[in-house]
Amino acid sequence: MGYRAFVDLVAPPLLGRFRLRAYSQVMTPSRLRWLVEPGSPTVELAGLFAAAGHQLYLVGGSVRDALLSRSHDDLDFTTDARPEQIKKIVGKWATAVYTVGQVFGTIGIRKAGMSAEITTFRSEIYRDDSRKPHVTFSDRLEEDLSRRDFTVNAIALRLPDLEAVDPYHGLADLGRKLLRTPLDPEVAFSDDPLRMLRLFRFQATLGFHPDEAAVEAVRSMANRLQIISAERIRDELSKIMEAPRPSRALKAVVSAGLADQFFPELPALAMEQDPVHRHKDVLSHTLAVVDKTSPDLVLRLAALFHDIGKPATREIGADGVRFHHHEVVGARLTRDRLRALRYPKEIVEQVGRLVFLHLRPHTLKMGWTDSAVRRYANDAGPLLGRLNELVRCDVTTANRRKAEAIGRRLDELEERIAELAEREELDRMRPPIDGNQVMEFLGIPPGPQVGEIMEILYERLLEDGPYSEEEAFEMVREWATKKRLTS
């Protein structure tokens, strides 16, 4: 039986009775073996800490992801050693040592392809930038684990023997795919309100479900998110957006009242009827579009914001509801919101532009001129691929014929862009000599003969690609000899 199956089926009841000692004695799952491979940097590091009389544990996301066989970039370690001691222990051994996080107890290191953070056990920590960093170190691992966000992130593996320390039953929760705080959720969320958003972030990235009590707590204390910096919120939002299917987590962020705190335009979409798509409201349509797009941050954000201008532009007329120029208003709202969330300028501009352009292809009737096609491609610039994908994914109508018609129109548009590009590429290619040089060389006046020879020179270009000026004159001479124009 695979380890995953073991956790799913056996672990919850087993762990309840025997705790984790049983688990580590039963097996060292193959997915953890790389941690204890002789000569590996993790083994060497554990040796250094042991020699200095200190404990070392792998902890947090790196343990969780190792157990789930997911890749994880950086390793997180925790230790009873204080930051000064950590620096002494790893100083000579590591290739690089980073101390930017030292006030929080964290020393970063690199060694032989391993990038890791080693943090002293902590019993208290305010992480928000708006408050003075406040950290209390601890001598007890259990205390450190109790301050972590979720039980699945609060499992520690002692090195080098891989004994699991799991006082909050994170392994059982991994098996149940459950996101639960180690302490009471009210306590956990008031200690650091960002954890409320992280709850839904992990729902999106891991596909786990949030514990009902935790969701209840978010509902009652969502406004605490106000004290959290825009940068920290932005990073969690980005991780949600890059998850395989963000819709369910986004919906939960809205319904728990969290979105109101940092992105109020999103819940406003739920109030808006959707007269065109098959969804009952604009929010549901938006979330469906998000899930359909590929997980690229710019494209996903554009999907999330594409109809954001609808509530502000709604007009009810004789022939139903209209959202006149909602893409223009939407692009402005998009830029404002992304700026407030401290997204880099380039992302703000790219997402804003995609929102601005997302309706353009719908004006494509049979009669789009070359110049309209050219302008579309030009306005989209390097975003063309993403724009076309956004427009395709925006089609969520239940009406098959209508959906197919829009799909065909987009195919046609893409073909025309490709054709135009090819033609213009060729137009940019010119034979190495021009008509004047031909006339001068042969001593003939302008006329159809010049056109004829230019055609030949151009044909050769299409056939063989670029050639030299001498070759061109040689061709002119041959042509003239045939025509007996020269002696």
Question: Where along the sequence are the contacts to Mg ion (CB under 5 A)?
Answer: 61
Q: Which is nearer to Mg ion, 64 or 285 (CB)?
A: 64
Q: Smaller CB distance to Mg ion: residue 61 or 175?
A: 61
Cβ proximity to ligand ATP, 118 vs 410, nearer residue: 118
| Tokens read off for 324 | 């006149």
Candidate segments 5-13, 188-196, 320-328, 427-435, binder of ligand ATP by CB under 6 A: 188-196
| Nearer CB in complex with Mg ion: 195/326 | 195
Q: Which does 306 bind (CB under 5 to 8 A by kind): Mg ion, ligand ATP, none?
A: none
User: Which CB atom, from 65 or from 414, has the smaller least distance to ligand ATP?
Assistant: 65
- Is residue 236 close enough to count as binding ligand ATP by CB under 6 A? no
> What is the token pair recorded at 484?
């007996």
Q: Which of Mg ion, ligand ATP, none does 87 bind, CB closer than 5 to 8 A by kind? A: none
Residue found under tokens 């819709």: 247
**Per-residue x/- marks for ligand ATP, 112-141, CB under 6 A?**
---------------x--------------
From residue 426, how far is each of 341, 343, 366, 466 by CA, in Å?
A: 45, 40, 25, 11
Per rule CB under 6 A, is residue 61 in the interface with ligand ATP?
Answer: yes
Query: Which of ligand ATP, Mg ion, none has residue 148 at its interface (CB below 5 to 8 Å by kind)?
Result: ligand ATP
Q: Identify the residue among 23, 35, 76, 189 touching ligand ATP (CB under 6 A).
A: 76
- Residue 49 or 150 with smaller CB distance to ligand ATP: 150
Of 336-375, binders to ligand ATP (CB under 6 A) are none
Min CB(236)–ligand ATP separation in Å = 9
Among 122, 180, 195, 310, binds ligand ATP (CB under 6 A): 195
Return the number of other C-beta atoms located less than 10 Å from residue 284's C-beta. Answer: 18
> Measured between alpha carbons, how far is 148 from 132 in angstroms, rounded to an integer?
20
Nearer Cβ to ligand ATP, position 194 or 269? 194
Residue 279: contacted member of Mg ion, ligand ATP, none (CB under 5 to 8 Å, by partner type): none
Is the CB of 153 or the CB of 203 nearer to ligand ATP? Answer: 153
User: Does 307 contact ligand ATP by CB under 6 A?
Assistant: no
Nearer to ligand ATP, 24 or 181 (CB): 181
User: Which of ligand ATP, Mg ion, none does residue 169 bind (CB under 5 to 8 Å by kind)?
Assistant: none
CB-based contacts of 93-99 (< 8 A; 24+ apart in sequence): 93/44, 93/45, 93/48
Answer whether 293's CB lies under 8 Å from 389's CB. Answer: yes
From residue 265, how far is each of 270, 297, 311, 357 by CA, in Å?
Answer: 10, 19, 9, 20
* Distance in angstroms between the alpha carbons of the first and the last residue of the chain: 92
Of residues 207 and 264, the one with the C-beta less far from Mg ion: 207
- Shortest distance, CB of residue 128 to ligand ATP, whole angstroms? 10
Q: Taking CB within 5 to 8 Å according to partner kind, which of Mg ion, ligand ATP, none is near residue 153?
A: ligand ATP
Q: Which residue is nearest to ligand ATP (CB)?
A: 61
Candidates 34-42, 146-154, 401-409, 455-463; binding stretch for ligand ATP (CB under 6 A):
146-154
Min dist CB 208 to ligand ATP, Å, is 12
Rule CB under 6 A: choose which of 194, 282, 298, 433 binds ligand ATP: 194
Among candidates 228, 181, 172, which has minimal Cα distance to 202? 181
Determine which residue in the list 80, 149, 274, 327 makes contact with ligand ATP, applying CB under 6 A.
149
> Nearest 5°: phi and psi at 430?
-125, 150
Judge whether 61 and 151 are in contact, CB under 8 Å. no
Least distance (Å) from Mg ion to the CB of residue 74? 6
Residues listed for the chain: 487
Which residue(s) pair with 118 in the sheet? 77, 107
Sign of CA pseudo-dihedral 440, 441, 445, 450:
negative
Q: Which residues here bind ligand ATP, judged by CB under 6 A? A: 60-61, 76, 127, 148-149, 153, 192, 194-195, 239
